[in-house]
Amino acid sequence: MNEERLARAQAGDGKAFEELIGPYRRELHVHCYRMLGSVQDAEDVLQEALLAAWQSLERFDGRSLRAWLYRIATNRCLNYLRDTSRRPQGTGADFTSQFLGASPSDEPWWLEPYPDALIDNVTPGPEARYETRESIALSFVAGLQHLPTQQRSALVLRDVLGFSPSETAHILDSTAASVNSALQRARAGFRPTKDPERTTLPRSDVEAQVVDRFVEAFQRGDLDAVVALLTEDSVFSMPPEPVEFRGPRTIGEFLRSLGFWGKALKLVPTGANNQPAFGYYLPDRGSGVHRASGMLVLTVAREGVSAITRFGDRGVLARFGLPRALPSD
């Protein structure tokens, strides 16, 4: 860290402050996303955290700027999670009765996909248990949301980011013993992600082959071919709806009820949470365009597609730089 730049920032130089925090902005955003599960919430909380850092910079002791920023960001996330009024609750309606074959889902309704373009390749510390690609996966982030806040913080700081027990205790304004206790409970209660023996490496040949077959079948409107690519334990979910469909047959029946199969569909590739993702577009008769209908994020196992998460908010596409409409020709 440049001491001269720090001195200028502490004297009120905003440009020097931006230069100081610039290298950490993206990783802090990813951190807030892991904690909150929502890209928009992460952006709001990060802005609050950076404002707090600017206002308290004169009290920074000059040791580890990264740990100091993580302390502020983590505590802002915890404050956000304590303030239930900032995140409206779901409707609680029984949506399973509205969808044929649906089962209740405990996936967080506020879950959002995270653009790969924003994922910083931060090298975890020596005590980290998870690789970056695994710790940003949708199933991992969704699982974190079920942990109590202190356990979630301990697991992210220790097992994802690799902070030491003493560093984590300082960030959480706690003791190493309390952190270790919370971490043990978090590890015991955290639902594991997909079996690593089945999950493919991102952008591997196996994944590419499965994804290519999925895209080809989807774009020609061949539902049977899409369903044939699903694993026996596959799951189709669609946050914020509190339902999911399990198994190829049930998923196929639901998708068939949507009625757009057999038409010329379009998929535009992107990347979310280090997973294959696509904006999908349906033909708008008479207009000469395909209009955006949402985003699909795939989880690919060695034997096929094990999960499809559909995000129907077309505003999500803008975050990924995808258009609202495409020419039909």
- What is the structure's pLDDT at 96? 58
Residues 118-127: tens digit of each pLDDT = 987 777 888 8
Q: Are 200 and 210 in contact (CB under 8 A)?
A: yes
- What is the structure's pLDDT at 286? 82
C-alpha to C-alpha distances, 65 to 4, 164, 171, nearest whole angstrom: 14, 16, 12
Q: What architecture does CATH give domain 1-86?
A: Orthogonal Bundle (1.10)
Helix, strand and coil percent figures for the chain, each rounded to 5: 50, 15, 35
Residue 56, Cβ neighbours under 10 Å: how many? Answer: 11
Residue 93 has pLDDT above 60, yes or no: no
Minimal CA–CA distance to 69: which of 8, 127, 24? 24
CATH class of 205-327: alpha beta
Residue 167 has pLDDT above 80, yes or no: yes
Residues 285-301: tens digit of each pLDDT = 888 899 999 999 999 99
Interhelix angle 14-36/65-82, rounded to 10 degrees, is: 50
The tokens of 199 are what? Answer: 């999950």
| Domain boundaries defined on the chain | 1-86, 205-327
pTM of the model: 0.92
State mean pLDDT over 274-279: 96
The tokens of 157 are what? Answer: 């700081």
Residue 283, Cβ neighbours under 10 Å: how many? Answer: 18
Minimal CA–CA distance to 322: which of 283, 292, 296, 299? 292
C-alpha to C-alpha distances, 5 to 8, 20, 226, nearest whole angstrom: 5, 7, 56
- What is the structure's pLDDT at 285? 83
Cite the beta strand spans of the chain per DSSP E.
Answer: 103-104, 230-237, 243-246, 266-272, 275-284, 289-301, 304-311, 325-327
Residues 214-252: tens digit of each pLDDT = 999 999 999 999 999 999 999 999 999 999 999 999 999
The tokens of 129 are what? Answer: 């248990």
Most confident residue range from 116-125, 147-156, 190-199:
147-156
Residue 42 has pLDDT above 70, yes or no: yes
Q: What is the rounded distance in angstroms from the CA atom of residue 144 to the CA atom of residue 27? A: 17
Average pLDDT, the chain: 90
